[in-house]
Structure 1
Amino acid sequence: MRLLSISTGKVISLFGNHHPNYKSVASAINKKSISDLQNLQSVEITILGVKGDEQADLSVHGGIEKAIYVYPAEHYAFWNELLTRETKRSVNLQHGAIGENFTIEGLLETEVFVGDRLLMGGLEFSVVKLREPCFKFNAALSYKGAAKAMLQSGFSGWYLRVIKRGLLAAGTEITLIPGPRNTSIAQQNQALLHNRNQKDLWE
């Protein structure tokens, strides 16, 4: 298990017909990698996440409880195939495109539980909850069904709280320290799928 990329984003306007009430909406979902396996740049991780990263709506993203958004690189093939098929154009998403701060490999939603701790170098993080997709994700990927596809696939990723801050670079190995192991991220996703009104996703 290792960290492949660290990404940040600035708040910009997203445009499109991905919500009936908005022609544009502010979001920092478009992240760009600032440390990857070709550029092992050390990045400062604070209690609020990656230094320089922004969030447009702190009620749903960011803050201490959602400081870092983690996404498994293994899911990128799913998105590239889906978007290429649905948009009728070749799609090859780069790390950060799902809105994540950390792109990782070797650890999936079925293997991660709320309360688990992740150690990366001298830094420590705690798993908080899954990421819940919304219409901004549809706008970011230019596909109205993106949020629904994330929910139905279970490829949600998850949020981390920063327990021990410091400098971190891509390529760092990840160690998982199990917590109570009561609820996995995959189980959270299944509960959300069964309880959520699909119209909220504006597919």
Structure 2
Amino acid sequence: MKVKSVNVGERKTINYKGKIVETGIFKFPVKEIYIDTEGVLNDTVIDRRYHGGINQAVYAYSENHYSYWKELYPNLDWHYGMFGENLTISNLEETKIQIGDIYKLGEALLEVTKPRQPCMKLGIVFKTQNILKQFWNSTKSGIYFKVLEKGEVTKGDKLVLIKKIIGSPTIAEVYNSIP
């Protein structure tokens, strides 16, 4: 598994159906990121109830999932970071990665904590709230990590398994069990 892109977002205020909404979901590729214990430096997180913090410090999404979504939404301006992810990683597979697994990535040491649960802001990016049901009906949730050791991560770094947690559920199993 290799980092294809590192992404951050800025605070953006938009008018959504007559309501002013602030978001940091519009991520864009940068040269490098520094992963700290509660998030990625210089990345905007608006609603800390659902994003950022100790158990959701870094969000990763699989590059391999992009082709699936591009087929459903061919008219979007596609780029890495579209799902609000800090890390776009090749071959990141939710059906194989387990809660508690520990990975080395660049200078950082990361622990798998949970799948992402989509919110209406993903629908804003995709220009339709239909994406939420489609996202929920897939196992393409992406993965949140806790930071055990902070550090710099750049495009090309490899996500290397350090410790496998035998018997722990996979990200996909946890995601499919959310009511």
Q: TM-score, normalised by structure 2?
A: 0.93
TM-fit CA distance, 1:136: 1.4
Runs of 5+ consecutive residues of structure 2 not aligned to the other structure: none
Q: What is the root-mean-square deviation of aligned Cα atoms in Å?
A: 1.5
1:129 matched to 2:114: yes
Is the helix fraction higher in 1 or 2?
Answer: 1
Equivalent residue, structure 2, for 1:11? 11
Equivalent residue, structure 2, for 1:30? 26
Cα–Cα, structure 1 residues 27 and 10, in superposed 2: closer, same or farther, change >3 Å? same
Equivalent residue, structure 2, for 1:50? 40
Equivalent residue, structure 2, for 1:172? 157
Equivalent residue, structure 1, for 2:133? 148
Equivalent residue, structure 2, for 1:182? 168
Bigger Cα displacement from structure 2, 42-51 vs 133-142: 42-51
Aligned partners of 1:99, 1:120: CA distance in 2, in Å? Answer: 19
Equivalent residue, structure 2, for 1:69? 59
Aligned partners of 1:181, 1:28: CA distance in 2, in Å? Answer: 35
Identity %: 30
Cα deviation 1:80-124 (Å, max 9, x = unaligned) = 11113xxxxx23420001100000012210011110011113320
Is the strand fraction higher in 1 or 2?
Answer: 2
Aligned partners of 2:103, 2:48: CA distance in 1, in Å? Answer: 24
Aligned partners of 1:140, 1:15: CA distance in 2, in Å? Answer: 13
Cα deviation 1:40-68 (Å, max 9, x = unaligned) = xx432211222101111000000111110
Moved over 4 A (4+): none
Bigger Cα displacement from structure 2, 101-110 vs 178-187: 178-187
Cα deviation 1:132-169 (Å, max 9, x = unaligned) = 01111111211121111111012110100111112221
SS at structure 2 position matched to 1:109: coil
SS at structure 2 position matched to 1:124: strand
Aligned partners of 1:126, 1:31: CA distance in 2, in Å? Answer: 22
Aligned partners of 1:125, 1:181: CA distance in 2, in Å? Answer: 19
1:81 matched to 2:92: no
Q: Aligned letter for 2:155? A: A
Report which of the two structures shows the higher radius of gyration computed on alpha carbons. Answer: 1
Cα–Cα, structure 1 residues 14 and 170, in superposed 2: closer, same or farther, change >3 Å? same
Aligned partners of 1:183, 1:72: CA distance in 2, in Å? Answer: 19
Runs of 5+ consecutive residues of structure 1 not aligned to the other structure: 36-41, 85-89, 196-203
Aligned partners of 2:36, 2:168: CA distance in 1, in Å? Answer: 28
Q: How many residues align?
A: 178
Aligned partners of 1:158, 1:57: CA distance in 2, in Å? Answer: 18
